[in-house]
């Protein structure tokens, strides 16, 4: 296994997924849940993100070509999805912490598009395209798994933050997280628009 490639994959994915930055959003969306439900949400989110990233690493280019979808379209869709979630957080119109809502928030928006978003997908696709031989491929996939393990550890043990903040602090954090999500969503949509404009000008 090429340790240099492994290190590049781990660092790149961790920078893109930003586990510390995910903590306030994760806490805001799961703070009222029982610890067991919160741990399950962290596990489900990371498993989904791992599955999506590996899927696009293996066959991402073929999937997008078959569906006639460009990466900017994927960015724009992710941005619109995040805006919907952000509005729920900002207005407080979220579902109670039932098993159903636990699965929902773990899959969307935590698993995708926050963890397995356009940035992580594009990065892994580029790493796979650059890979030369079995050692590089092993390093890429090992790096993906290692990065996901780090993300899971951060989310799994963020319960300390919940205990410190208490319900009142979580309420404030929820509004802040909604604002952060809205900003991320707007940036994704803006990047998608600029990418579309550049592609048409180049064409």
- Position 99 scores a pLDDT of 43
Please state, in angstroms and rounded to a whole number, the distance separating the CA atoms of residues 168 and 123: 38
The residues near 117 (Cβ < 8 Å, ≥ 6 apart) are 16, 17, 78, 188
CB burial of 119-135 (b: ≥16 within 10 Å; e: otherwise) equals bbbbbbbebbeebeeee
24-79 pLDDT, tens digit each? 889 888 878 888 999 999 999 999 999 999 999 999 889 888 988 888 888 888 88
Do residues 180 and 25 make contact, with C-beta atoms less than 8 angstroms apart? yes
- Using alpha carbons, select from 10, 15, 199 the residue that is nearest to residue 117: 15
The predicted structure's pLDDT at residue 41: 92
Position 97 pLDDT exceeds 70: no
Angle at 49 between CA 46 and CA 50, to 5 degrees: 85
| Contact predicate 192/184, CB 8 Å | no
Indicate if the pLDDT at residue 19 is higher than 80: yes
pTM of the predicted protein model: 0.80
Tokens 């899959």 belong to: 107
């Amino acid at each position: 296994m090429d340790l240099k490639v492994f290190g590049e994959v781990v660092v790149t994915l961790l920078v893109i997924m930003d586990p510390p930055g995910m903590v306030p959003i994760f806490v805001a969306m799961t703070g009222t849940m029982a610890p067991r439900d919160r741990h399950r949400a962290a596990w489900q989110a990371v498993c989904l993100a791992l599955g999506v990233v590996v899927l696009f690493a293996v066959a991402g280019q073929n999937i997008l070509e078959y569906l006639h979808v460009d990466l900017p379209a994927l960015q724009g869709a992710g941005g619109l999805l995040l805006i919907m979630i952000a509005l729920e957080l900002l207005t407080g119109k979220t579902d109670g912490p039932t098993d159903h809502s636990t699965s929902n928030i773990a899959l969307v928006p935590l698993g995708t598009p926050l963890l397995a978003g356009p940035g992580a997908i594009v990065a892994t696709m580029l790493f796979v395209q650059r890979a030369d031989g079995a050692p590089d491929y092993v390093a890429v996939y090992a790096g993906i798994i290692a990065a996901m393990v780090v993300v899971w550890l951060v989310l799994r043990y963020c319960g300390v933050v919940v205990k410190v903040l208490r319900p009142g602090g979580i309420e404030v954090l929820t509004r802040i997280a909604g604002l952060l999500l809205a900003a991320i969503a707007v940036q994704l949509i803006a990047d998608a628009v600029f990418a579309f404009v550049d592609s048409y000008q180049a064409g």
